[in-house]
Amino acid sequence: MIPFRGSSRYFRPLFRAAVILLLLHQGVRFIFWRYNHQLFTDLSFREAFLVFCRGLQQDLVTIILLNSPVLLLCVAAGYAKTEGAFKQRRLLDGSRWLFIGINAAGLAINLLDTGYFRFSRHRSNQALRYVFSDSLGSFKSLFWSYWLLLVIFMAVVIVLVRTAGFTILAKRRPPPLLPGIKVLYQFLTLVVLLATLGVFPRNLVLPGTPLLSVAPDHLPLAQNSAFTFLYSLLRKQEELKPVSYFPEKEGRTIASTFHTIGKEGDSLQKKNVVICILESFARGYLLPGDPDKAITPFFDSLIRKSIFFPRSIANGFESNQGIVSILGGLPPFLDEPFYYSAYANTPLKSIGNILKAEGYHTNFFMGAGKDHFGFGKFTKMAGIDHYYSRVDFNDDRYYDGNWGIFDEPFLQFGAGVLSKERSPFLAVFFTISSHPPYTIPLQYRERFNFPGKTAPQRSISYVDHSFQEFFAACRTAPWFKNTIFVFCADHWLDPYEGKTPYSPVNAFAIPIFIYDPSRDSGETRETLASQVDLTPTILGLLHYRGSYTGFGSDLLDPSIEDHYALNRIGDVYQVITGDLVLGYDRPKDKTRYLYRYNGTRLLGGDLSGDSTYRLVREKLERWVKANIQCYTEALIRRSLE
């Protein structure tokens, strides 16, 4: 034991620092819980205890991963000889600032998720890189919305600086490491590095490990955002591995990316197509009779004349997922946006590419920056030739101060562009004014300040007004009556600001309706609709005869019996039918839950273990697995055919 004499001078301060870091992470977890408590209302005392115990495990692994570089610098400093005190000091100074910076970053990701979780419904993964970079321009509005979290972060940084001040990292002339302590440092460093590289897979703690004792609905509360983010980067999920749930031929009979559209004698009706992607619209905003519906007289009148799908589902949680599903026909099964992944070179036979091949002019309109959220990259992949943005609008008097040009003036700008466009054309409009912080032009704030309505609902009323003016500008154009207008949200956003219980159905409930001015009346279709169904549905309305490669099916084709929606929440792949929702845990290869639902509310308890639902459960499992297999095959082969 003599070689370890004096070891407390090294390990006691480091142990104290580790305890403080654990307390900080647990404290931030408690803040996360309180900030999002509406989403965890059914948490009992026992369940909360298990959540925080499992959270402690996640935090410990996070701290080890984050501080392994600090540990390496400490080892290097320990090897510096006495006469190399300056070198040793520099190494310890570096380790001190690295300790502060890297732990501040880890805690910052958790605080970011505290505010962002109610929109994403999962802890951060590598997609955070793209979301964060595209949100920097709206920092001022985010600051006013989440100023308390920023104050908490500043307090956390102060604690980290004070913590670094009384560890071995702050010593002016630390005594040289004794041989035994050097061996301990080397051993600990080796263990940390090997664990990071996954050499001990059986005992490796993963982001899903809390499920051993925590209910799936409470998993995000037990997780650590820095850990889920690092894990997403380290496992490189974008490098897909082949799966073989079924023989290839059988899998393609259950789910296929190749579809033949049209029948003998069909000829393309070259109607113009205008797709309006509504930012952050929940279904309840527009659903007639919903008690929390926004005031939208124009949309109400348009829906009465449209093909309306009151049971519509988004395939993803975010804008970069919604646009790929709507225009590309792909569900968001990757951690990162499809167009940033290793499979971005997969050719898409999307609505834009198909119509362009038929002689259509293709356009995209969005009042944000030229490549906001990477949309400039994706629209090129999707066959869009002309991208109109805030730069093309070229008048920042109408800038909302956060994201881009307000919807009303930008939609008017788009109407002006289309008035000069030759038919047939495809035009995609992506709105921005209903995105948090829900900014409304000053001259309209009093007009849309409806009593009892939330800020999101008031912004929806402004978007409604913007489209009313857009249609007024377009209605007299010669192309108007020969046009199909498709309305679909990019993703769901909680219209009740967290006041309603979360369910795996209402988290994806969005509006979808199709308006054709040449039709005399509208109709309501109870068919379950999702974003990936839009391309084949539009092609069906145009009487297109040919092939389509992608997911989804024609919502108006009476020969198709089974319509369902696919989405993903973390490691759970979800299938939603007309009255059932099943969650399949892919890593564990088992069904995690099966519920009946009505509208957006779950009915009763979990049916996954009910023997009377065995055949139904197996059928839905087959759908999920076949779609995962089909999706993986298509991307690995870089071919959707």
Q: Say if strands 272-278 and 425-430 run parallel, antiparallel, or are unpaired.
A: parallel
Calculate what percentage of the chain has a pLDDT beyond 70.
Answer: 82
Q: The tokens of 573 are what? A: 């792949």
Of 531 and 2, the one with more pLDDT: 531
Q: Are residues 226 and 311 in the same domain?
A: no
Residue 5: its pLDDT value, please? 43
Nearest to 278 by CA among 488, 514, 468: 488
Which residues are CB-contacts of 533 (< 8 A; sequence separation ≥ 6)? Answer: 552, 553, 554, 555, 563
The answer to whether residue 623 sits within a structural domain is no
Residue 446 has what DSSP assignment? Answer: T
Cβ neighbours of residue 395 closer than 8 Å, sequence gap 6 or more: 405, 409
Contact call for residues 181 and 10 (beta carbons, < 8 A): yes
Using 50, 70 and 90 to split pLDDT, how confident is the model at 493?
A: confident
Q: What is residue 144's predicted lDDT score, i.e. its pLDDT?
A: 67
| Domain-terminating residue out of 213, 235, 257 | 235
Q: Please, which residues have CB within 8 angstroms of residue 561's CB and are 6 or more apart in sequence?
A: none
Do residues 529 and 555 make contact, with C-beta atoms less than 8 angstroms apart?
yes
Least confident of 73-82, 519-528, 618-627: 73-82
Separation between Cα atoms, residue 433 and residue 483, nearest integer Å: 25
pLDDT for the residue numbered 38: 76
Locate tokens 């610098």: which residue? 73
Q: Is the pLDDT of residue 351 over 70?
A: yes
Residues 154 and 272 in one domain: no
Minimum mean pLDDT range among 47-61, 92-106, 157-171, 441-455: 157-171
In a shared domain, residues 201 and 140: yes
Q: What is the pLDDT of residue 183?
A: 58
Cβ atoms of 403 and 137 within 8 Å: the answer is yes
**Which distant-in-sequence residues (6+ apart) come within 8 Å of 472 by Cβ?**
none
Is pLDDT at 440 greater than 50 in this prediction?
A: yes
Residue 537's nearest CA partner among 288, 312, 280, 285 is 312
| pLDDT given at position 137 | 61
Asked if 157 and 37 sit in the same domain, the reply is: yes
**What is the C-alpha radius of gyration for the chain, rounded to an integer number of angstroms?**
27
Q: For residues 336 and 511, which has the higher predicted lDDT (pLDDT)?
A: 511
Pair (186, 281) in one structural domain: no
In this structure, the answer to whether residues 229 and 302 fall within a common structural domain is: no
Measured CA angle at 432 (ends 525, 362), to 5 deg:
70
Q: What would the mean pLDDT of 143-161 be, rounded to a whole number?
A: 85
Q: Which of 521, 556, 573 is the last residue of a domain?
A: 521
Q: What is the pLDDT of residue 132?
A: 63
Which tops the pLDDT comparison, 236 or 302? Answer: 302
479, 485, 438, 480: which is closest to 460 by C-alpha?
438
Question: What pLDDT does residue 172 have?
Answer: 47
Q: For the residues 360-368, what does the mean pLDDT come to? A: 97
Q: How far apart are CA 205 and CA 61, in angstroms?
A: 7
The single residue listed with the structure tokens 């930008």 is 410
- Looking at residue 641, its pLDDT comes to 59
Residues 6 or more apart whose CB falls under 8 angstroms from that of 351 comprise 273, 275, 327, 329, 382, 383, 426, 534, 535, 538, 539
Residue 236 has pLDDT above 60, yes or no: no
Residue 296 lies in a domain: yes
SS (H, E, C) 172-184: CCCCCCCHHHHHH
Per the CB < 8 A criterion, the answer to whether 384 and 364 are in contact is yes
How far is it, in rounded angstroms, from Cα 437 to Cα 535?
Answer: 31
Contact, 384 vs 440, CB < 8 A?
Answer: no
pLDDT at residue 572, as a whole number: 92
423 with 516, same domain: the answer is yes
pLDDT digits (tens, 9 = 90+) for 65-85: 888 787 777 666 655 554 455
Q: Are residues 160 and 64 in the same domain?
A: yes
Question: What is d(CA 10, CA 445) in angstroms, rounded to the nearest whole number?
Answer: 61
The more confident residue out of 537 and 46 is: 537
Lowest mean pLDDT among 211-220, 409-418, 455-464, 601-610: 211-220
Whether residue 482 lies inside any domain: the answer is: yes
pLDDT at 426 over 90: yes
pLDDT reported for residue 303: 96
| Pick from 199-203, 242-246, 526-530: least confident | 199-203
Comparing 265 with 514, the larger pLDDT belongs to 514
Between 14-28, 397-411, 579-593, the lowest mean confidence (pLDDT) is in 14-28
User: Is the separation of the CB atoms in 230 and 126 below 8 Å?
Assistant: no
536 located within any domain: no
229 and 286 assigned to the same domain? no
Task: State the Cα–Cα distance between residues 617 and 615, nearest whole angstrom.
Answer: 5
Is residue 249 domain-resident? no
* 570 confidence band (pLDDT: 50, 70, 90): confident
**Please, are residues 40 and 218 in contact by the beta-carbon 8 Å criterion?**
yes
How far is 379 from 356, CA to CA, in rounded Å?
A: 13
- pLDDT the model gives residue 196: 47
Q: Are strands 580-585 and 572-576 parallel, antiparallel or unpaired?
A: antiparallel
* Residue 157, SS3 per DSSP: helix
| pLDDT band with cut points at 50, 70 and 90 for residue 305 | very high
| Residue 200: band (very low, low, confident or very high) from pLDDT cuts 50, 70, 90 | very low
Q: Give the separation between CA 169 and CA 17, rounded to whole angstroms.
A: 11
pLDDT at 13 over 90: no
Handedness of CA 167, 171, 177, 178 (dihedral sign): negative
Phi, psi values for residue 141, rounded to 5°? -70, -35
Coil, helix or strand at residue 318: coil
Packing angle between helix 179-196 and helix 45-79, nearest 10 degrees?
A: 130
List Cβ neighbours of 177 (8 Å cut-off, separation of 6 or more): 10, 78, 79, 185
Percent of the chain with pLDDT over 90: 47
Instruction: Report the mean per-residue pLDDT for the chain.
Output: 84
Identity of the residue numbered 400: D
Q: What is the pLDDT of residue 166?
A: 63
Mean pLDDT of 315-340: 91
pLDDT of residue 3: 39
Q: Tell me whether residue 630 is in a domain.
A: no
Residues 272 and 215 reside in one and the same domain: no
Using CA atoms, how far residue 369 sits from 376, 403, 405, 436, 602, in Å, is 9, 8, 9, 17, 40
Identify the three-state secondary structure at position 595.
strand
Residue in 147, 171, 196, 148 with CA at minimum distance from that of residue 93: 171
Determine the Cα–Cα distance for residues 108 and 128; give it in Å rounded to an integer: 12
Residue 433 CA neighbour count, 13 Å, CB half:
28
What predicted TM-score, i.e. pTM, was given to this entire model?
0.78
Mention every residue, 6+ apart, whose C-beta is less than 8 A from residue 637.
none
- pLDDT above 60 for 494: yes
**Average pLDDT of span 184-189:** 59
Q: Is the pLDDT of residue 171 over 80?
A: no
Residue 284 burial by Cβ neighbours in a 10 Å radius (0-12, 13-18, 19+): buried
Report strand pairing: 361-366 vs 425-430.
Answer: parallel
Burial class (CB in 10 A: 0-12, 13-18, 19+), 386: middle
Number of domains in the chain: 2
Any idea what the CATH number is for the domain that residue 469 is in?
3.40.720.10
Considering 219, 235, 251, which residue would you say is the last residue of a domain? Answer: 235
Could you tell me if residue 581 is inside a domain?
A: no
Write down the pLDDT at residue 197. Answer: 45
Work out the average pLDDT over 448-461: 93
Do 72 and 168 sit in the same domain of this protein? yes
The answer to whether residue 637 is domain-embedded is no
- Assigned token pair, 45: 């005392």
For 176, the domain range is: 2-235
* Distance separating alpha carbons of residues 225 and 587, to the nearest angstrom: 19
- The stretch 206-228 carries a mean pLDDT of 78
> Predicted confidence band at 584 (pLDDT cuts at 50, 70, 90)?
very high
pLDDT band at 6 (very low <50, low <70, confident <90, very high): very low
DSSP, res 211? G
Q: Are residues 168 and 283 in the same domain?
A: no
